Amino acid sequence: MKMSAKEITLVAMFAALAAVAAALFRFGAPIVPFSLVPFVVLLAGMILGPRLGALSMTVYVLMGLLGLPVFEKPPFGGPAYILQPTFGYLMGFILGAYVTGKILTEKEDPGLVRYLAASVAGVAAIYLAGLPYLYVMLNFYIGKTFPVLKVIQIGFIPFIAFDLLKGALASFLAMAVARRVRSATGSK
């Protein structure tokens, strides 16, 4: 995959934004923390598109797995983070950025409804990766019994409203950025 200097810079910038978002908001529930990272994930997909958005989140996850302290909860990074019950959400960030960007690239000048739909789909992708991983790790690795409804109470219900709000905010911001870029480049 050949990338321009601009694309490399944008990917790095969004990976760094995800790390900053994780560092700024390190508190929350005992198992799954509240996070601003989904906002950055959705924004990356909306602004960079599916390929570069997913790549930026892949870089973010790889930075953490290499040991940089970029994740929300202790140990904040390292290869052992794969064994954290919340690691599935990190994989969901990659999928979420891709899905969000893919929905927006299907139409040339998407309106607010399409941005909002893309953000909802991106949030759904994050949870589709995060919740099953959370269930498996809690039940089979940690060895405690957590029925599906308990996992949903732990990893979905406290967060979904905030994540949908982050999606709406990301939609408005991405639309404003797209409008500004179009006016600066003189395209429609």
pLDDT digit string, tens, across residues 47-63: 999 999 999 999 999 99
pLDDT band, residue 24 (cuts 50/70/90): confident
pLDDT band, residue 184 (cuts 50/70/90): confident
Residue 143, classed as helix, strand or coil, is coil
Q: How far is 80 from 51, CA to CA, in rounded Å?
A: 27
If you ran DSSP here, which 8-state letter would residue 26 be given? -
Q: Is the peptide bond before 75 cis (omega within 30 degrees of 0)?
A: yes
Neighbours of 114 (CB within 10 A): 16
pLDDT band, residue 26 (cuts 50/70/90): low
Among 187, 142, 180, 157, smallest CA distance to 32 is for 157
pTM (2 d.p.): 0.94
- What mean pLDDT, rounded, does the chain reach? 93
Q: Please give the torsion angle defined by the CA atoms of residues 40, 44, 45 and 50, in that order, rounded to the nearest 10 degrees.
A: -140
Residue 27 confidence (pLDDT) above 70: no
Residue 145, classed as helix, strand or coil, is coil
Domains assigned to the chain: 5-185 (1.10.1760.20)
Residue 175 structure tokens: 């639309």
pLDDT for res 158: 92
Residue 105 confidence (pLDDT) above 70: yes
Lowest mean pLDDT across 69-73, 83-87, 168-172, 179-183? 179-183
